[in-house]
Every structure is written in structure tokens, then in C-alpha cells.
Structure 1
């Protein structure tokens, strides 16, 4: 269903401006939901279909993605407003991403970074984007997760994104406003304290029901319970000798789209959804992406993947004529390892990402609240052999590296 304000009169001048065609005339407009239940918690996303006539008389049939902020009365919305989520994404599409795109093009780094914004409407807290489906971009299956080929394309995309953002901050400091230094664990913010501590309690309840995991890791995890936000804040801090870049901050299967060649192999990747982007260590994007989105056999290649990403980042930064310190591979590996705690935090989302049961929920709070509905949903998403196997694997790795010990 179309928002009441999204009329032909509203959209026509904006399409005229975007296509640079003062004679463009909308003939018909209609809409369908663009996401399924449980695929998006942050806003309302609608796919709008438009038939329009160009100034030369030709008729076009195109679709667009309309992203609108949740209204303040929606229970989970208060968290997003507290963290400037909607303003941040509007700033990304209106100011940051176009500049990053231009920097990459100037350096000869091709590929579509993200969808173009047709318009950014702050009055209606809405962004209208070109529909990447028209260019045959699609998502991989979040339940099956990414194979090695998709993973490598995503890492190459992240490397370009991070490199462009480093140079952007050097050349256009005025665009990097305060909202880009707010993260989930920022001091003085409360909303995500409830989210992450609730997610961790749900995780502890799951561990409590797994005798072997409880015996091996239960006491250590219980001790960590009071330090989740403190340690989370710590890994977002960047020292002077470390890389500081804009990160996607929500890089998982649903937010990366791929084009395929005629034989069905992925050939290019692009990113969507930048509500949480902030300046910190690019290593955090890697940990989050690895923990939420990769198949187990791909995760086994972690050191190879980090080196592949590092080489792509170095190549991109050199083509962008970056003037500044750049870490050696060994130095970057240390930066990556210092933020291993992000792997634990990211894995808190894994159960809902790989869940494919009938009990879907569009309410973020059901992931962590302890009412009847929330506890029922948490039980459903954790009741999975995949989750048990995945948890067993990542806890063993984290424990061997000392991440489960109090710091």
C-alpha cells in the first residue's frame, strides 16, 4: 500500500529532476511490500511501480524502493531514534555515498557501490531508491549462507567501501558529522543496552539447556554478562596508529546483493541499508560479516579471507591516492584480533538469521524480551542443530583466544 503522501504529484517532479527530463509524465503508480516478515526490523519498505512517459514520447515501466522510518509510536522505534538511525541513512544517501561513488570512479574503481537515491525526503523521513532488482541484483539465501565465491565478492566490495570512506574523511571532513561516531555501544545511550543484554540473556538460557556447552563455558559466559556493553564500547575505540574507516555496520546476507552471469555464477556485489554506518575500525565489519553470513567451510578459511580483504583494501587505497599511514598485514591482523569480541556479539544474531520456521516476527524486541511471546520466539530460533553446531564451533575458537575471559 502506498503512503498517503506518495502521489503522482509528489513523485513526478522528483523523477523529472533525477532523469533530467522536464517533460516526464507519470501515467500510473502502484506498490507492493518489498520485504517479507522478519527480514527488516528498522523501517517500512515498499516497492513502487511506475509507468511514465518521457519527453521524447517513449513509455518506461520502472520500480523503486521506498524506505520510510517507523513512526515514533512503534515500540522498537525509540531505539532507532535515539541512535540517529534515520538521519544517518539519509545523510549517507544524500551526501556520503555519492561522494564515495565519485571518488571510486575517479580512481578507476568500477562497480556499483549501492543504489542511487532518487530523492531524500527529510520531512517524511523517507528515501526513494532505484530498485536494484531491475539490474538483476538479488540476495543469497540467508538460511543457507554464503559460499566462498560470494564471500570474496563481498570482501572486495567492503574493501572499496572502506577505502573510499578513508579518503572521503581526508578530503571532505565537513560531511563526517557527529552522527557517524555513534555506535551500538556509545556511552550515554541506553536503547541498545537493553537489546544486547537481552540478547545475551537469551543466549545464556540456550547455553543452560546444552549440558556440554554449559559445563565447558557456562561460568565464563555468566561472568561476561555484566560486561557486554563495556567490552563492546572498547572494541569500537580506534587508536591513533590504527585504521579509521566508515563501516557498513550491518553487513550480512540480506544487505548484500549480487549480479550473476549467464552460467549462474555471481560476478558483482553491491550493498544496501546504511542506517548504522559509523567511523571505527574496518575489522568490525569483517567480524560481523564472518559471524552472521558465512558457511562453516568458508569460516575455516578466516586467515585467508582477512589477507584477501587486506590486499584488496591496500590496492584500493593506493588507487585513491591516499596520503596517510597504512598498516602492514601483520599490524592489521593485530587490529582484527583485538576486536575478536565482536564475533561473540555478532553471533547473538545468528539464530534468527538462519531460522526458517513458521514463527516469524517483525518485532525486534521478541529477540530479547522475557515476556511470553519473546521467550517463545527465542526458543523457536534456538531450537536448531545448525545453531548448536555453530555455537559449539565459535565458543571453542573464542575460548582458545581468551575472548571469554574477563579483560
Structure 2
């Protein structure tokens, strides 16, 4: 289960440094899978269980999350290395997130942002992170999606992180000067272009099975397909007028964990998985989150949620001395609307995958390979009645907003 080099001595060294306890002594170490098949494509997640004695002689039993890169021979490895997701996440946990937390503490914001990082080991390309399960953090049900109470907690946290990143860039620009420009939709890389193109073709195949949809939108979608990744890339383009910050980049239900009170009300939230953090407009996080993770009744209040995020970010920034100019709410909404195509592509390609509950076994390469099995899996993503309702609602809205016309 654990690699041979990850033994008691290795963990002992890491825990001594993390706990600042040179007398800490590991007694027993074992591991078990932290995710099921198809729940995490980017790496291998293992829960490490450790029995140790601390410097005071107290016996402790703790668990941690080990994140390893996916095997080099895995079909998806070339894509993840092309986008340098592992280096990016290690940089986030080692340098960026601790400094952002420090900045927020300056203004009295002390709540947890993410799992604490126990160790970053670049030689072995691993992260050892705090296990959030003992703190009663859990993922919400991805199939039920999130209501307004959950959404507002997430947007408040996003706002704090977006504000802290602005201040971090002013005070320590060297920390964000590299590794944060490769979004899913960047023009310079091809891996995710294969994925989104294949998923979009599957979406179009579903539309063709519905004459009422195909007659209205089929020809337009063919034109969109020919420009798909250019239109998508424009959603992360920024110019001097755009408000810019570091976004999470992959903010959806499985990368968000909540604490709940005894009545089941969400009271705290943290984000996990920082492989796709990108310096761009915060609208990227807002579109991705709203179009992938919200229940229909919450998604219908999207404009109010953008306003909620804006005021939360404005409130946080006001507590700092800073040079940035926050746009007006009207301009912020316009900047969000100019990136509407991101919602369209995420809702119709990734969201069906995120809501998948079919019987086909998911594998990452099924998202882009054109083998019969891969195409069968992609097509099965659109068998869900919920997904079909989403498609039937989004297409006329996208058409009315001009997203299906030549851009």
C-alpha cells in the first residue's frame, strides 16, 4: 500500500519537523486507500495511520493524507505533467497558502482555509496533509448539489482567498510569478483541449438524439465546436481593466469540505486540491462553481451570488492597505458576464461527469479516447434525467445570450 521508502523513519522525520518535537517516536505505520476508483484521477490518495509517542511520552494515534503523482505509465500522466499540476500544488501548500493565511490573520481572519500541510517532499513528488475527517469535515453529496447556505459559505471563503491573493501579489509578487498561468483552457497546451473537445462531441451526440433540440441548435453547435477552445480561452483572458487574482480553478463539490452543526446546517468550509490555481479573473471561480455544483434553485440566483461574493471580497480588501482598484459592482457583473461561455462549457461537459451515477466504470482516458468503451462511457453521462433537464434549460439560455453565434 505505501511505497517502500515511506517507512516509519521517513514519517518520523516529517512529523518531528511538523510538530516541532525532536523526541517524537513513530511506533507503527500503515496505510489504506483514501478514495475509491474514479473519485480522483490526478493522483493517488492514501490515508496514512500513525501510532507515535510524543516528546512528553503521550501515545498518539493520528491519520494523514498522502498525495502522490499518478504513475508515469498511466494514460493521463502526460496531461498532468504538461500542465505541471503537481509542482503547482506543492508550491501552493509550501509557499502560497501559508502566506495567504498569515495575511488574513493580520486582519483577524483566523478560520481554517484548507488542510494543514505536514510535509512537501519534492524528491518523491508527494504531499502529506492533515486528515480533515477527524475534524468532521465531509464532502456534500455531489448528486444533490449545493443549496444557498452551502453556496454562500463557499463564496465567502473564495472572497477571502481572492482578496488575500491580491495582497500577496502586491507584497510578494515573486511567489506568484511562475506556475500559475496554465488553466484548463490555456492556448499553449493541448491535453485538456482533447478532453473538452471529446466531451463536447458527446454532448452534441446527445443533442442529436433530441429532434427538438437538434433542429434549433445542432448547426450552431457544429460552429461552436470548431472554435471551442478559443472561445474557452477567452474566458480566462484578462486585460488592464479586469480585476485579477489567483483563483482555485477547480472549485466544485468534491473539492469542497464542510463542517455541520447538529441540525445538519453547514457552519464551516475549506477548499482542497489546488492543482489548477491560475492568475486570472475571479469570474473563473464563480462560473466554474455555479455551473458545476449548485442546485437549480441556487443557480437561478447566480447574479445575487456574484454580488454576495463581490461584497465579501470588498469587505476583506478594505481591511488591508492596498494599491488595487476594485471595480464597481456593475463592472464586476459585466466582467463576469463577459466570461459566460465558461459556464456553458462546464455545465454541458464536466457537470454531466460530476453528476454521473451510471454503471459504466469511469477511467480518465475515457474522457478523450475514441475507443468504443470510452465513447460508450461519455454517451452514458447524458442518460441521467437530471443532466437532460439541465441541457434542455441551458441551451435556449445560451442561444439567447449569443453564446452559440460566432464570437
- Name whichever of 226-235 and 185-194 sits farther off: 185-194
Equivalent runs, 1:294-373 vs 2, <5 Å:
294-347=294-347, 348-361=349-362, 363-373=363-373
Deviations 1:74-114 (A, max 9, x none): 11110010111111001010000000010111111231111
Q: How does the TM-score come out when normalised to structure 2?
A: 0.98
Question: Following the alignment from structure 1 to structure 2, what is the Cα–Cα distance between the partners of residues 151 and 322?
Answer: 28
Question: Following the alignment from structure 1 to structure 2, what is the Cα–Cα distance between the partners of residues 376 and 142?
Answer: 22
Question: Following the alignment from structure 2 to structure 1, what is the Cα–Cα distance between the partners of residues 291 and 4?
Answer: 40
* Structure 1 position 65, deviation (Å): 0.5
* Structure 1 position 323, deviation (Å): 2.2
- Tell me if the contact between 1:103 and 1:164 (Cα under 8 Å) persists in the aligned partners: yes
Residue correspondences, number:
406
Question: Following the alignment from structure 2 to structure 1, what is the Cα–Cα distance between the partners of residues 174 and 305?
Answer: 34
Question: Following the alignment from structure 1 to structure 2, what is the Cα–Cα distance between the partners of residues 263 and 193?
Answer: 44
Question: Following the alignment from structure 2 to structure 1, what is the Cα–Cα distance between the partners of residues 283 and 27?
Answer: 48
Deviations 1:26-50 (A, max 9, x none): 1111111111222111000111111
Structure 2 residue matching 1:366: 3-state secondary structure: helix
- Tell me if the contact between 1:202 and 1:368 (Cα under 8 Å) persists in the aligned partners: no
Matched residue, 2:66 = 66
Structure 1 residue matching 2:318: 3-state secondary structure: helix
User: Does 2:245 correspond to 1:245?
Assistant: yes
Q: Give the unaligned 5+ runs of structure 1.
A: none
- Tell me if the contact between 2:88 and 2:275 (Cα under 8 Å) persists in the aligned partners: yes
Moved over 6 A (4+): none
Matched residue, 1:105 = 105
Matched residue, 1:273 = 273
Deviations 1:206-247 (A, max 9, x none): 111122211221111111011111111112111112111101
Structure 2 residue matching 1:4: 3-state secondary structure: coil
User: Does 2:94 correspond to 1:94?
Assistant: yes
Question: Following the alignment from structure 2 to structure 1, what is the Cα–Cα distance between the partners of residues 239 and 177?
Answer: 20
* Structure 1 position 269, deviation (Å): 0.6
* Structure 1 position 186, deviation (Å): 2.2
Question: Following the alignment from structure 1 to structure 2, what is the Cα–Cα distance between the partners of residues 235 and 335?
Answer: 10
Question: Following the alignment from structure 2 to structure 1, what is the Cα–Cα distance between the partners of residues 361 and 301?
Answer: 32
Matched residue, 1:145 = 145
* Structure 1 position 116, deviation (Å): 1.2
Equivalent runs, 1:5-154 vs 2, <5 Å:
5-154=5-154
Deviations 1:253-301 (A, max 9, x none): 0000001112221101100000010100000111110111001111111
Structure 2 residue matching 1:174: 3-state secondary structure: helix
- Tell me if the contact between 1:140 and 1:254 (Cα under 8 Å) persists in the aligned partners: yes
- Tell me if the contact between 2:244 and 2:280 (Cα under 8 Å) persists in the aligned partners: yes
- Tell me if the contact between 1:164 and 1:320 (Cα under 8 Å) persists in the aligned partners: no
- Tell me if the contact between 1:104 and 1:320 (Cα under 8 Å) persists in the aligned partners: no
* Structure 1 position 188, deviation (Å): 2.6
* Structure 1 position 370, deviation (Å): 1.8
Question: Following the alignment from structure 1 to structure 2, what is the Cα–Cα distance between the partners of residues 130 and 247?
Answer: 22
Equivalent runs, 1:128-277 vs 2, <5 Å:
128-277=128-277
Question: Following the alignment from structure 1 to structure 2, what is the Cα–Cα distance between the partners of residues 84 and 241?
Answer: 29
Question: Following the alignment from structure 2 to structure 1, what is the Cα–Cα distance between the partners of residues 398 and 24?
Answer: 58
Q: How does the TM-score come out when normalised to structure 1?
A: 0.98
- Tell me if the contact between 2:199 and 2:378 (Cα under 8 Å) persists in the aligned partners: no
Question: Following the alignment from structure 1 to structure 2, what is the Cα–Cα distance between the partners of residues 194 and 141?
Answer: 29
Deviations 1:322-358 (A, max 9, x none): 3221101001000000000001221211111111223
- Tell me if the contact between 2:101 and 2:110 (Cα under 8 Å) persists in the aligned partners: no
* Structure 1 position 377, deviation (Å): 0.8
Question: Following the alignment from structure 1 to structure 2, what is the Cα–Cα distance between the partners of residues 37 and 351?
Answer: 18
- Tell me if the contact between 2:86 and 2:275 (Cα under 8 Å) persists in the aligned partners: yes
Structure 1 residue matching 2:145: 3-state secondary structure: coil
